[in-house]
Amino acid sequence: MDEATLQTFGKSLGRCTENPDFLDLFYEHFLASSPKVAEKFARTDFVKQKQALHSSLNLMLRAARDEGSGPPSYLTELAQRHGSKQLAVGAEYYDLWLDSLLATVRMCDPEVSPAVEQAWEKVMGVGIGYLCSRYND
């Protein structure tokens, strides 16, 4: 992926995470996006979950930066956890996930623009593509 997109994404992620409500707002949007999503998180500890998501957003950036260098081994466990044998998160859920994330970025990044939104879509697209491709593992 081109350096400008990675930079645009990284700066926007930094601005979003300066907002202490960023991860709460994301989960508010995501859980409201479908009863099927809310059901998956029925027994979740959100203090831990928010921390895990925060770290994994940086892993998504790493995967986009390493695009073309083979399968990202640091995403293997995350793919297994979301795959058919465990959480069974199919491709349709990732559309809701990305829409919820973009809605949250629009609220939290004071410098959001079409280019910033595209950078989020492109960077997340790499990680999401990988997770979906490992669904049946």
Least distance between ligand HEM and beta carbon 43 (Å): 6
**Binding stretches for ligand HEM (CB under 6 A):** 37, 40-41, 43-44, 49, 52-53, 56, 60, 78, 81-82, 87, 89, 93-94, 97, 127-128, 131
Q: Which residue has the tokens 């892993």?
A: 59
Least distance between ligand HEM and beta carbon 66 (Å): 15
Question: How does 41-72 read in b/e, with b if 16+ C-beta sit within 10 Å?
Answer: eeeeeeeeeeeebeebbeebbbbbbebeeeeb
DSSP string, 28-68: HHHHHT-HHHHHHTTT--HHHHHHHHHHHHHHHHHHHHTTT
Least distance between ligand HEM and beta carbon 97 (Å): 4
The residue among 54 and 111 lying less far from ligand HEM, judged by its C-beta, is 54
The residue among 15 and 50 lying less far from ligand HEM, judged by its C-beta, is 50
Q: Which residue has the tokens 């595209």?
A: 118
Nearest residue to 6 via CA among 53, 68, 58, 52: 58
The residue among 4 and 52 lying less far from ligand HEM, judged by its C-beta, is 52
The residue among 77 and 111 lying less far from ligand HEM, judged by its C-beta, is 77
Least distance between ligand HEM and beta carbon 47 (Å): 11
Least distance between ligand HEM and beta carbon 108 (Å): 17
Nearest residue to 126 via CA among 60, 75, 69: 60
Using an 8 Å Cβ cutoff, are 126 and 64 in contact? yes
State which residue has the least CB distance to ligand HEM. Answer: 44
